[in-house]
């Protein structure tokens, strides 16, 4: 098929590369705010496993062309993958389609716009046989290529039989193991995407609330998590307490859901509480640090392991480390930060700050003279540290585990002080 992809989001880059890799003729036009000459050197694109290589392969094959301006003309599919604040650009793009297209086509809305916006696109087309469908972005950053090419599900919002067949054919190469399409009306697909994000965020925040309660009751929250997850009605997914979630898509989609509820006149106290809990949890390691030293923090030194909002990405958008850093620096704390991938993004924000030191290579070096080690992002390289080396390097062997990846009793047995999210070492040693 002849496919035009429009947008500079991760979903646009993956769609352009993946569709061309299976034989479709693809023209990808990034949004003018983020043209290809800036995108191709972006850390998030370079670090996304395999993506840049797939784009280069597509270009060499001639099946993928990267254009500076939208390439309207006779095509089969227009794939829109734009940021939520680029609705005007999306509408202008769709409004130009009828003038250059006389044959049937499908506009795929892969963007997260307000519920009902896919119908707005179809109204702008205004021609019989030119249909808009919703195919919400379900990619997971850090494994975007895998989630596109080996999807567990597609939410397809379509009320047109021919358009549904066209989308199925477009993605047939990625749908061979089983039928992963969940077909529903367009508005239902748009709302379902937001509802999924809201539910996941609610589970995380609820576990974080329980972790705080467990702390106050001197209960290890791990027992609670295992007991809850063993209940078949609940399961274990997204039941891990931590120091808050972030990320460009997750946070943005939550705010979009809040906007949808506000626009409908149905305010959600639950969602507001979920968002409040998350912002509070981003400060939880700081509060534990404060309590341990009774507020005497000036000129102390902290090592932070992990800055990215999750392992496998370079991004720090709404990441807990930002809130944590601001709180520490406001108290005159010196901070050493290590992250395998996200330091360039963090340098762009804090590179000139005299109290921030970036440790590029050796994450143990970040702990030299530290009064505490704060684990913020659970990169695999941090899971099994040399505890003896840490104890020797640190001024105070205080481990603040923001992701509960360490065994409290094991750490304590090595002579260090452990504090997690609702977890601590058993003082009896049992």
Convert the pLDDT of each residue in 326-379 to its tens digit: 999 999 999 999 999 999 999 999 989 999 999 998 999 999 999 999 999 999
Average pLDDT, the chain: 91
Q: Which of 148-152, 193-197, 261-265, 399-403 has the lowest mean pLDDT?
A: 261-265
Tell which phi-psi region holds residue 425, choosing left (phi > 0), alpha (psi between -120 and 50) or beta: beta
Distance from C-alpha of 266 to C-alpha of 416, rounded to nearest angstrom = 49
Which pLDDT does position 51 carry in this prediction?
Answer: 94
Kindly state the percentage of the chain with pLDDT values over 90: 71
For residues 373, 376, 382 and 383, what is the CA-based torsion angle, rounded to 10 degrees? 110
Indicate whether 150 pLDDT > 60. yes
E strand or H helix at 3, and its extent?
Answer: strand 2-6
Q: Specify the 3-state DSSP secondary structure of 21.
A: helix
CA 426, chain centre distance (Å): 34
What is the b/e burial string over 345-368, where b = at least 16 CB atoms within 10 angstroms of the residue's CB?
bbbeebeeeebbbbbeeebbebbb
Question: How confident is the model at residue 176, as a pLDDT?
Answer: 77
Identify which has the larger pLDDT, 168 or 263: 168
Q: Which residue has better confidence, 361 or 14?
A: 14
Which two tokens mark 103? 């044959």
β-strands 77-80, 64-66 pairing: unpaired
pLDDT bucket at 102, cuts 50 / 70 / 90 = confident
Q: What is the pLDDT of residue 253?
A: 76
CA of residue 340 relative to chain centroid, distance: 17
382-420 tens-digit pLDDT = 999 999 999 999 999 999 999 999 999 999 999 999 999
pLDDT of residue 98: 85
Give the residue-averaged pLDDT of 189-195: 91
Give the tens place of pLDDT for each residue, 205-218.
999 999 999 999 99
Q: Which of 373, 375, 337, 376 has the alpha carbon at shortest distance from 355?
A: 337
The pLDDT assigned to 112 comes to 87
State residue 124's pLDDT score. 93
Question: Which pLDDT score is estimated for 286?
Answer: 97
159's tokens: 């009320």
pLDDT surpasses 90 at 5: yes
Mean local confidence (pLDDT), 16-39 = 95
Yes or no: say if 343 and 337 are a contact pair by the CB < 8 Å rule: yes
Residue 308: what pLDDT? 94
* Residue 413 confidence (pLDDT): 94
Residue 46: the pLDDT is: 87
Confidence of residue 262 (pLDDT cuts 50, 70, 90): low
What pLDDT sits at residue 425? 81
Average pLDDT over residues 297-314: 94
Predicted TM-score (pTM) of this structure: 0.84
d(CA 197, CA 199) in angstroms, rounded, equals 5
The pLDDT of residue 409 is 94
For the segment 194-200, the average pLDDT, to the nearest whole number, is 88
pLDDT, tens digit, for every residue of 316-326? Answer: 988 999 999 99
Q: How far apart are CA 193 and CA 156, in angstroms?
A: 10
For residue 427, name the pLDDT band (cuts at 50, 70, 90). low
Pairing state between β 398-401 and 334-338: unpaired
């Amino acid at each position: 098929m002849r496919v035009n992809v429009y947008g500079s989001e991760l979903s646009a880059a993956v769609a352009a590369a993946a569709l061309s890799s299976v034989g479709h003729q693809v023209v990808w036009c990034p949004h003018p705010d983020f043209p290809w000459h800036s995108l191709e050197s972006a850390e998030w694109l370079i670090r996304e496993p395999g993506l840049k290589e797939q784009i280069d392969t597509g270009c060499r094959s001639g099946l993928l062309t990267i254009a500076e301006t939208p390439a309207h003309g006779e095509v089969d599919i227009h794939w829109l993958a734009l940021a939520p604040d680029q609705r005007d650009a999306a509408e202008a793009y769709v409004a130009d389609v009828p003038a250059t297209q006389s044959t049937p086509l499908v506009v795929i809305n892969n963007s997260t716009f307000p519920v009902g916006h896919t119908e707005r696109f179809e109204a702008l087309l205004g021609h019989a046989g030119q249909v808009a469908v919703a195919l919400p972005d379900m990619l997971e950053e850090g494994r975007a290529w895998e989630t596109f090419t080996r999807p567990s599900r597609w939410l397809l919002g379509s009320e047109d039989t021919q358009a549904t067949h066209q989308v199925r054919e477009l993605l047939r190469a990625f749908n061979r193991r089983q039928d992963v399409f969940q077909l529903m009306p367009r508005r239902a697909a748009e709302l379902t995407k937001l509802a999924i994000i809201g539910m996941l965020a609610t589970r995380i925040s609820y576990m974080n609330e329980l972790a705080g309660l467990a702390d106050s009751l001197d209960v290890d929250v791990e027992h609670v998590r295992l007991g809850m997850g063993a209940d078949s009605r609940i399961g274990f997914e997204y039941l891990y307490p931590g120091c808050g979630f972030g990320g460009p898509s997750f946070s943005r989609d939550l705010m979009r859901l809040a906007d949808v509820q506000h626009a409908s006149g149905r305010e959600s106290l639950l969602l507001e509480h979920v968002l409040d809990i998350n912002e509070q949890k981003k400060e939880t390691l700081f509060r534990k640090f404060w309590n341990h030293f009774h507020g005497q923090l000036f000129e102390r030194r902290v090592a932070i392991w992990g800055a990215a909002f999750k392992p496998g990405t370079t991004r720090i958008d709404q990441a807990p480390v930002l809130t944590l850093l601001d709180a520490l620096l406001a108290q005159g704390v010196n901070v050493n930060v290590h992250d395998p991938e996200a330091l360039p993004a963090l340098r762009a924000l804090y590179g000139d700050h005299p109290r921030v030191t970036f440790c590029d290579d050796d994450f143990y070096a970040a702990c030299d003279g530290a009064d505490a080690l704060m684990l913020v992002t659970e990169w695999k390289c941090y899971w099994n540290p040399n505890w003896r080396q840490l104890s020797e390097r640190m001024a105070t062997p205080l481990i603040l585990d923001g992701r509960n990846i360490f065994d409290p009793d094991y750490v304590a047995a090595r002579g260090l002080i452990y504090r997690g999210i609702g977890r601590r070492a058993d003082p009896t040693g049992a």
